[in-house]
């Protein structure tokens, strides 16, 4: 496709913004408190001596706040990262990871598929999504290399942190179903992709089993805290998906502003 043809097709397309609003007091995982903070430290003020004035601020937030993507260094199993890299082998430092940091993750651009498990009704709190749930929600056939986004309905509760943090999540068996599809990346409209307060998985001896299965064992990135409400309302189940992590050397994740184009 020529650049002109691509631009023409984009002009006729609809762009869906999949990022949640960032603000102080937004939902945050307890491990990543206090979440997002912004301070205006330079103000527009009188007495500048010229017509132009400037304002700027400071952003303070964990990598894993708001809509973000997990680097492969984010999780380990028995102190071992994806690819058999042991965290004690000079990889983990006080200023970040020498391997598998977010700076090593390429931009994600490809076909996206929405699995609207919630449909017209928000899932029950702490519900563990099953493979049957995902299969029933597969309106567009998942192909190898797709990015699969799972809607629980809790994205609509972003302004209500207490309720949002009780979101449904993807079970270990449903995660394995996605892995069998050979997906490139996954995401959900909840805090942890997994059920955040879910029990320890007996086979993995770990809570948040999807994080072990996806990040550590398979090297599949996870995008969390997506806003999928507009996409679901438009009944768009197949789209072009773009997600660009920031190049922060050695970081275990990155804030992102993903978009879907259909």
| Residue for token pair 């631009």 | 7
**Is residue 57 assigned to a domain?**
no
**Is residue 47 assigned to a domain?**
no
Q: What pLDDT, on the 0 to 100 scale, is given for residue 3?
A: 83
**Is residue 68 assigned to a domain?**
yes
Q: Give me the chain's average pLDDT, please.
A: 97
Task: Count CB neighbours of 31 within 10 A.
Answer: 8
Residue 189 confidence class, pLDDT cut points 50, 70, 90: very high
As a whole number, mean pLDDT of residues 178-190 equals 98
**Is residue 114 assigned to a domain?**
yes
**Is residue 126 assigned to a domain?**
yes
Instruction: Check the CA dihedral 136-141-146-147 and report its sign.
Output: negative
Distance CA(82)–CA(67), nearest Å, equals 23
Q: What pLDDT, on the 0 to 100 scale, is given for residue 6?
A: 79
**Is residue 138 assigned to a domain?**
yes
As a whole number, mean pLDDT of residues 4-28 equals 91
pTM: 0.96
Beta strands in 134-216 (DSSP E): 147-151, 169-170, 185-188
Query: The domain that contains 122 carries what CATH number?
Result: 3.50.30.50
- For residue range 42-72, list pLDDT tens digits in order: 999 999 999 999 999 999 999 999 999 999 9
What is the number of domains present in the chain? 1
**Is residue 230 assigned to a domain?**
yes
Tell me the residue range of the domain where 162 lies. Answer: 3-21+63-261
Residues 252 and 4: beta-carbon distance below 8 Å? no
**Is residue 36 assigned to a domain?**
no
| Residue for token pair 């691509």 | 6
Q: Burial level of 221, CB count in 10 A (0-12/13-18/19+)?
A: buried
């Amino acid at each position: 496709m020529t650049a002109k043809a691509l631009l023409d097709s984009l002009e006729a397309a609809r762009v869906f913004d999949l990022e949640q609003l960032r603000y102080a007091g937004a939902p945050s995982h307890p491990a990543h408190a206090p979440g997002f903070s912004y301070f205006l430290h330079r103000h527009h003020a009188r007495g500048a001596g010229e017509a132009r004035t400037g304002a700027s601020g400071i952003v303070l937030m964990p990598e894993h706040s708001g809509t973000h993507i997990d680097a492969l260094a984010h999780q380990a199993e028995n102190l071992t990262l994806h690819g058999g890299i042991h965290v004690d082998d000079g990889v983990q430092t006080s200023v970040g990871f020498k391997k598998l940091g977010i700076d090593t993750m390429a931009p994600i651009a490809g076909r996206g598929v929405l699995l609207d498990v919630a449909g017209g009704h928000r899932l029950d709190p702490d519900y563990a999504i099953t493979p049957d749930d995902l299969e029933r929600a597969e309106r567009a056939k998942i192909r190898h290399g797709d990015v699969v986004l799972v809607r629980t309905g809790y994205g609509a509760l972003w302004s209500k942190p207490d309720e949002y943090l009780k979101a449904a999540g993807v079970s270990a068996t449903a995660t394995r179903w996605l892995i069998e599809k050979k997906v490139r990346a996954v995401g959900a409209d909840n805090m942890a992709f997994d059920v955040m307060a879910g029990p320890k998985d007996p086979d993995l001896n770990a809570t948040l089993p999807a994080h072990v299965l996806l990040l550590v064992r398979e090297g599949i990135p996870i995008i969390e805290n997506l806003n999928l409400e507009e996409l679901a309302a438009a009944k768009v189940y197949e789209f072009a998906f773009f997600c660009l992590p920031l190049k922060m050397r050695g970081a275990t994740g990155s804030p992102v502003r993903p978009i879907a184009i259909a």
